Amino acid sequence: MQVPVDRHKLIGSRVQLVATCAQLVGVRVQLAGVHVQLVGVHVQLIGVHFQLIGVYIHLV
């Protein structure tokens, strides 16, 4: 005996899976963005550090 498959339910569950995957990808993209921002801040801090060393050398 074949069980009647509700195609709408199948399609619905697939759509949910795709939506969940899309959300996960979105979160990953956001995390990557935050990571890039942090790297940018780090680079700025290194720049400030070098400036301070330059000022210190001038003073000495």
Domain boundaries, the chain: 10-60
Per-residue tokens: 50: 């070098």
How does residue 60 score in pLDDT terms, banded at 50, 70 and 90? confident
pTM of the model: 0.55
Q: What is the pLDDT of residues 1-38, one digit of tens each?
A: 666 778 888 889 999 999 999 999 999 999 999 999 99
Query: Which secondary-structure segment (H or E) carries 28?
Result: helix 7-59
CA 57 to CA 55: how far, in whole Å?
5
SS3 content of the chain, % helix, strand, coil (to 5): 90, 0, 10
Residue 34, phi-psi category: left (phi > 0), alpha (psi -120 to 50), beta (remainder) = alpha
